[in-house]
Structure 1
Amino acid sequence: MLVLSRKPQQQILIPELNIVVTVLSIAGHRVQLGISAPDDVRISRGELAPEAPRRSLSEETRLRAVATAFRSPA
């Protein structure tokens, strides 16, 4: 698992999947996130859908997308 620290208005990008996660606000122990993703990308809260099916991408493709998203700029 990759663990990142972000401040309000900072983003996490997953370009291969065209997903942008933005930290909207932080208040106490609550973090409000905004997620922009294509309509065909299913987004669910983990506690509401623990058995939700994963997207039909291979595990290798998923890992490559995440690794690329968090690669340091050269």
Structure 2
Amino acid sequence: MHHERISLRAAMREMHALASAQVERFPAGQAELLRFVAASGAPPEIAAAARHCAANMGNWISSVYWFHHESDRYGTARDF
């Protein structure tokens, strides 16, 4: 974002918007993966592993969000 010659605060807002958009897209992608796995005819242990990974990604996203934003670990709450 430096190449756009915007302020740090504006860059932080832009990155927040970009990251938020990706997080908002996750549930649809997760549902698409689960539909694909269900229709794939994969062996039960492979299907179970895929479902488990999809669920863990959802947990990871919410955990990272909390740690970085809600805990104010990096002071982001006061910058917006």
**TM-score by structure 1 length?**
0.28
Find the structure with the greater CA-based Rg.
Answer: 2
**TM-score by structure 2 length?**
0.27
Higher helix share: 2
